[in-house]
Amino acid sequence: MIIIVNSDYSEKVQYDNPDYPIFAKRLFLSSYPDYAAPSHWHDDTELIAVLSGKMRYNINGKTISLSKGEGVFVNSRQIHFGFSEGNTECEFLCVLFHPMLICANKAYEKEYVIPVTENQSLPFLHLKSDIPPHREILSTVSRIYKSGKEPAAPLKMLAAIMSLWELIYSVMPPMQESTVRSDGDLGIVKSMIGFIQQNYREKISLCDIACSGNVGQSKCCKLFSKYLGQTPNLYLTQYRLSKSIDLLKNTDMSITEIANETGFGGGSYYAEIFKRHFGKSPTRFRKLK
């Protein structure tokens, strides 16, 4: 799963069909390096429904546990990622769609879309199957996924998304008029991780990362710890590794070429870091895949 970023550092979602802003896939945590997706954010709302196994899910620095039959709704423009602490498998459905789908006209947008996407009290919603509305949301996520394989799929998926949005609207907490739309620190973190995602091929220092967010190095480290649970340098290393794995799987590039392409600077150093994280050399990994 490759992340491409826009000019504002948000993820450019790779929709199933470029003409319809909907993404619906059945995925496995093992498809991500070290069983962890890179931290990212986007305008689209995202829903996860766990089919088997379990995962941990981080939204803006708050981590929840998801087991079979549970899921999460992640609101627009929130930093998030799923991962497994013990590298255990998790099978899940992932549905993303742009809120513009619900905006039939300005009235719909004003009355039913903005109150959800701009609601600071709703960065996410932990979905549990023992709560009837949540169970219905999870069921609708499955329906959206299955509809993607049927005739007139975009129409059926849109109908299901409208039902899902009504459910989310009905259970969301009240919107607080006094809250500011954007958390200042969250915006800084978005800038810094976006800087890494756009410049990972180059030599990047902690000072460079901090400067991209207009903060000192100490605050940079504190914000990464608060929102991502890791250091800036570890995030950079893991992001480079995720890019290198794509190249190992899908190209005939040499180990040295991949090391240079992903910012590691040398084949031996890259191999050392790779083995430290994954327990095998890049060459061995490539043969096993």
What is the percent of the chain with per-residue pLDDT over 70, rounded to a whole number? 94
Q: What distance in Å separates the CA atoms of residue 282 and residue 268, rounded to the nearest whole number?
A: 10
What is the residue-wise DSSP string for 118-151? T-TT-SEEEE-TTSHHHHHHHHHHHHHHHHTTST
- Which of these, 24, 31, 20, lies nearest to 142 by C-alpha position? 24
What token pair was written down for 223?
């914000």
Q: Which sequence spans correspond to the domains of the chain?
A: 22-171, 184-288
- DSSP annotation of 30 reads G
Residues linked to residue 55 through DSSP beta bridges, in sequence order: 66
22-171 CATH fold:
Jelly Rolls (2.60.120)
- pLDDT per residue as tens digits for the range 236-253: 999 999 899 989 988 999
Judging by beta carbons within 10 Å of its beta carbon (0-12, 13-18, 19+), is residue 106 exposed, middle or buried? exposed
Contact 92, 47 (CB under 8 A): no
Give the pLDDT score at 47. Answer: 98
Contact 132, 87 (CB under 8 A): no
Q: What distance in Å separates the CA atoms of residue 253 and residue 250, rounded to the nearest whole number?
A: 9
Q: What distance in Å separates the CA atoms of residue 91 and residue 95, rounded to the nearest whole number?
A: 13
CA torsion through residues 184, 189, 192, 194, sign: negative
User: Letter for the amino acid at 12?
Assistant: K
pLDDT of 188 > 50? The answer is yes
Residue 124: other Cβ atoms inside 10 A: 20
Give the pLDDT score at 181. Answer: 44
Q: Which helix (H) or strand (E) holds 198?
A: helix 184-199
Give the pLDDT score at 50. Answer: 98
- pLDDT per residue as tens digits for the range 32-54: 878 888 888 899 999 999 999 99
- pLDDT per residue as tens digits for the range 146-155: 999 899 999 9
Q: What distance in Å separates the CA atoms of residue 238 and residue 274, rounded to the nearest whole number?
A: 9
- pLDDT per residue as tens digits for the range 266-284: 999 999 999 988 888 999 9
Judged by DSSP in three states, 74 sits in strand
- pLDDT per residue as tens digits for the range 106-123: 999 999 999 999 998 999
- Averaged pLDDT score across all residues of the chain: 90
Question: Does 230 or 165 have the greater pLDDT score?
Answer: 165
Question: CA neighbours within 13 Å on the CB side: how many for 260?
Answer: 4
Q: Taking residues 172-196, what's their average pLDDT?
A: 78
Dmax (CA) of the chain: 59
Q: Taking residues 221-226, what's their average pLDDT?
A: 94
184-288 CATH fold:
Arc Repressor Mutant, subunit A (1.10.10)
At 59, the pLDDT band (50, 70, 90 cuts) reads very high
For residue 169, what are the contacts with CB-CB under 8 A and spacing of at least 6?
A: 112, 115, 116
pLDDT of 178 > 50? The answer is no
Residue owning tokens 């006094």: 178
CA torsion through residues 252, 258, 261, 266, sign: negative
